[in-house]
Structures are given as C-alpha cells and as structure tokens.
Structure 1
C-alpha cells in the first residue's frame, strides 16, 4: 500500500522589513554556509485599518554566513511564509538573491502597515459570512484555507491554516460563491493581522483564481500597445504588442499542390512508349482488354513458318522484359513458345 503524499500548497510573501537585532548565523563543523536567522516584525493595521500593531516574525535564509542584515536598514524581502497554528513565531523563509536594501531606518520612513503581499495556493476547508459594521459594503466572507509547505531546516512538511477575509465590495462580492469546501484556490492578498486565539494569520483578499478554471466569457479583441517616450534620462522603454491572427508570422504553412510536383518515378526513366496506352493499330482501345483484330492462325501454318525461320536464321536471344505487361499475349510471344516446344 502506497503512502499518501502531502500536497504542496505554499504561501509566499513580499514586503519590507527592519531587523530588530543582529542576524544569527549557525555554522556546522566550520562550514561557511548555513541558516542565517534574523528577528524582525510585520506592521499590521487590521482588516479595517483601525489598529496599529507589530507582530514579531523570524527571517530565515540558507546562504553564506556573511549575508547578514543590519538593524539600521530597511530591506525589501520576498520568500515563503510558514505560520503554524501552535502559537510559535511565524517563519519567513526568504531568498537571499532577492534582498534589496531600501535605505536607512529613521522616524521619517514610510508606513508599511498592511503592505505585505501574500500569494498562496491552498484548499478551502470552511467558509462563513460575517456582518461588517465598520464598512458600508455589507457582509464579508471569512474563509479558512489549508496550506502545506516544506521546511528545509527541519526537513519535514509543515501544515498550517490561514484565515482569508473576502470583502463585500462590488468587485469582490460576486467571488463569494467561488469559495467552496474542498476546492483548490490561488489567492493574492495583504497580510493585515494575526488571530491570537486561533493562532492564524489574517489576509484580506485582493484577487482569487480557481485552479480548475473559470467559465469562458466573450473574447476580448487584442489591442496593439503603443510605444511611449521615456521621461527618465538614459532609459529606453520597449512596449509589448499582441500579434494579430492575420499577421504573416501566424499564417499557416502553405500546402504544395499535387499538380506542381513532378512524378519522381516518371522523371527518372526515359520517355518510352507505353504499350498499354498506345495502340499498335488504329481502332484498338487503350486498356489492353480489347479483342485482337488479327486473323486466327492455324497450328499447321505456325509450324511451317517456324520450320522455315529456324532453317534460315539463328534463334534470337530472348531478353527478359523488366516491366510486367497486361492483356493478351502478342503473336511473337506465342511463336517463341512454339519454338521451345518444338525443341523438346
């Protein structure tokens, strides 16, 4: 019996982070590579923007031990998030190649509240409509989605749930019916809060896609993009344009007509008269199945003719005919057969 494999339903993030303390590099047996861990925080303002709270997280990456983060800098970081539902600190496993230092931290730095983007793939486990009194959009939908991702440090699969809030706005209210239990969804949203009681991250949905596909609507005609002039010195922008169906690049390959291609077999052989198509006498048909017009020759006359020909001239050598001919045998063939019978 085969073991049931855990589904791969990860959740990725993209945001700006400031380290709380220095990075800790864990080296094993004087190895120059390992896991670098940095304590940081996420600025959250709640689903309605009525709170200001910072939640501690742990930034983890597997890289060279010299790639540490400074406490006096702000970094743009992207990676995968694993927020377990047991009260432990959420782990943000980021990619070192995507780290960008934005600038130094200061009191005048931008506000990054609710600016952490989460893109996830998971399975819907439950849904519930909740009235939202703080907004005029009416009721909103709370969806619990199950995720599973690989923990490279512990070398095990981690299962966790995330709560998604789907607003009842005009552009998202019609997507409430897409969230059904047991359906796989791809969601893009903003990390806005953490539920301390249920130990779950809270994400406000901005977009949703069904992995099984949506209903196909009316086709949208392709619009060619126009090149725009660059307002930045030293930059030249390249615009994209869709190809039309009638363009030469999309034209199907032309088929070669059968009448224009010469017959290879006919061209390789010299022009020879076809005994089947060319009649030996006028009045014969082209098919070779017509009745011969020669007068019947008796056996005695053939025998006398054979005797005179055999005495006067030597027997000609018969050459094999490479081409098989159809129809009645010719008179010369009958005479040759009679000569062979006479010898034996």
Structure 2
C-alpha cells in the first residue's frame, strides 16, 4: 500500500517485507462513502523459530490493504503479500500495509503442513543509531563475533496519518561473507540491510532481523536526539507454539544469547569474466570513400581521361 502523496515530500527510511501470511480473521473494513472500495484490515501473524530450539513463536500482526470488497482477502487462506511494515516500539502489534496488486494466493490454511516460520523476508533502509559486537561459538568450538546493529526507520503510517519513527535490530553475522563489513556501519550512516524477520524483543518492543545482504548508501547523517536503545538478551502445525498477542503486560519470552549464524557455503573465490572489447573493422567509411572518389574523378578529368569511380 503506497504512502500518502503528501508524505513523499519528507525523507523516509522504510522497512519493506514480503512473505506468506495466514489470514486468521477479517476485520471491519473502512469503506469510502457509497463505495465498495476502501481499507480492508485483517488479523494475521509473523512466525519465527525460538532461538536454539525448534519451537515456533507466532506474533500477532495486522494486515491492511486498499481494495474492493470483491477482491478482499479471504479468511482461512494463506497469501503471499508484499508491502511496508510499521513496527512502532510500543505495546501494539506491527502492521503490514500491503499492495493489492502483488497478492498471490497460496493455499487453504487447514491442511497446509509446511511451516511458515522464518519465511518473511525484509529490506530495511535506515540510519545506524547503535551497534555492538557479541561473541558467539558455533558447533565444533569455533568462535567469532556477530555485530548487532540498530537502525532507525521512518515511514508514513496510514492509520496515524503521519510519518512515524521506529527502531529495528539487525544481526550481522561475523562469518566470511559479512564479517568484513563491520567497519562500514558507522553511527549516523544510512544503510540498506536485506534479511529475514527472525525474532522480537518483547521487553523493548523491537523487531529482530537476521541479515543476509548489506549495502551502504551514503556518508554519515546528522543524528538529532537519538534515544538510547534498550539492550536485550536476545496451535496448528507451522503456525507457532507460543503467541505474542500484546494483550498482557505479563508476556515474556526467555531469549538466550543471539543465534549462532553458521558460515555460508559460498566459495571464497569468485571469478568474474570480462568481455573483450569489440574488434575494430578496418576499411574506408562511406564519407571517406566519397572523398576519395571525388578526388579520383577530378584527377581523371584534368588528364582528359574520364573513368568511373574506383572501388
């Protein structure tokens, strides 16, 4: 779902996401007067694995998109959706404002046995406001450090009708693929991080993302009163063993130290072939050939011997 045109005049640092979502309940739509078009909200969830275990956590998520009553999403169906996430750091469920043009039905919820855990990808464009290195140990005794980066995002909230700010925490693995990027994450710098939504800090109300790709987009930006970031220790099959509903102050998830991110199987050496420049064709071009022909005719005419053009 696109932001309001008036918000485009302001700088934004959005968090985009796409993945499969189970439509658990259709909520009351907000329709335009005398129209079947409007905002259609739904109750769904983000599912991710609890760290160091196979248990799944289902976190309440609100979906919202602009469509007609005829094209609205159906309850008890699984759809692949794409849009913008607003995850304000308060006691309320995040919202995915999805684009109806990119909807894709997957299957009925009942009888769908594939797990939806850790299947929601995201692309976060934000400003670095905090970073810290955390030591981890992988099976076999090898150890290295992960970099925990907190980005400040800002985007238009269709419900609040204003641009809001929120923080998201990203884990940059210290393996051979991303370990050498740690120095790029400087406070105040704008960066783009692609990864998967892998957790939620229930005490600080912060989404957690495991990074896959990173990109630096600019030099340092001036931070204005950046608040300190709170530190954290980090039903049906495939829908989560425990739920985060945001309905109680007693909700808690014991989170062990950050997940060990195993090294990727990518090769260290990547060869890149460069194409050779095209071979220049030798010979006379049309313009040069015409000049030569004119010169020959002039020469022949002066000697009294008319001849045709040389080729």
Q: Structure 1 residues 137, 79: closer, same or farther in 2, change over 3 A?
A: farther
Aligned residue in 2 for 1:99: 103
- Residue deviations 1:225-269, cap 9 Å, x none? xxxxxxxxxxxxxxxxxxx444xxx67899977754539x99xxx
Give 1:35 deviation, angstroms: 0.6
CA RMSD between the two structures: 3.3
Q: Distance in 2 between matches of 1:200 and 1:58?
A: 16
Aligned residue in 1 for 2:81: 77
Q: Secondary structure at the match of 2:44?
A: strand
Deviates more, 1:105-114 or 1:43-52: 43-52
Specify which structure has the higher proportion of strand.
Answer: 2
Q: Secondary structure at the match of 2:101?
A: helix
Aligned residue in 2 for 1:131: 135
- Does 1:19 find its partner at 2:23? yes
- Does 1:119 find its partner at 2:126? no
Q: Distance in 2 between matches of 1:60 and 1:253?
A: 60
Deviates more, 1:46-55 or 1:59-68: 46-55
Q: Secondary structure at the match of 1:262?
A: helix
Give 1:139 deviation, angstroms: 2.4
Give 1:27 deviation, angstroms: 1.2
Aligned residue in 2 for 1:311: none
Question: Taking structure 1 as the reference length, what is the TM-score of the superposition?
Answer: 0.61
Aligned residue in 2 for 1:341: none
Q: Secondary structure at the match of 2:171?
A: strand
Aligned residue in 1 for 2:168: 162
Aligned residue in 1 for 2:243: none
Q: Secondary structure at the match of 2:291?
A: coil
- Does 1:144 find its partner at 2:173? no
Matched-pair contact (CA < 8 Å) for 1:47–1:204: no
Aligned residues: 243
Aligned residue in 1 for 2:272: 220
Deviates more, 1:194-203 or 1:164-173: 164-173
User: Any residues of structure 2 matched to 1:221-240 within 5 Å, and which?
Assistant: 221-222=273-274
Aligned equivalent of 2:180, options 174, 177, 185 = 174
- Does 1:184 find its partner at 2:190? yes
- Residue deviations 1:45-93, cap 9 Å, x none? 1454554211001111112233222232111111111111122210101
Q: Distance in 2 between matches of 1:32 and 1:181?
A: 47
Q: Secondary structure at the match of 1:132?
A: strand
Aligned equivalent of 2:207, options 188, 201, 204 = 201
Give 1:38 deviation, angstroms: 0.5
- Residue deviations 1:80-132, cap 9 Å, x none? 11111122210101111111111112355201111110112111111011233
User: Any residues of structure 2 matched to 1:270-289 within 5 Å, and which?
Assistant: none
Greater relative contact order structure (CA < 8 Å, 6+ sep) = 2
Q: Distance in 1 between matches of 2:47 and 2:134?
A: 25
Q: Considering only CA atoms, is the larger Rg found in Structure 1 or Structure 2?
A: 1
Q: Unaligned regions of 5+ residues in structure 2, if any?
A: 1-8, 220-269, 296-300, 303-311
Aligned residue in 2 for 1:55: 59
Matched-pair contact (CA < 8 Å) for 2:23–2:77: yes
Aligned residue in 2 for 1:41: 45
- Does 1:262 find its partner at 2:291? yes
Question: Taking structure 2 as the reference length, what is the TM-score of the superposition?
Answer: 0.67
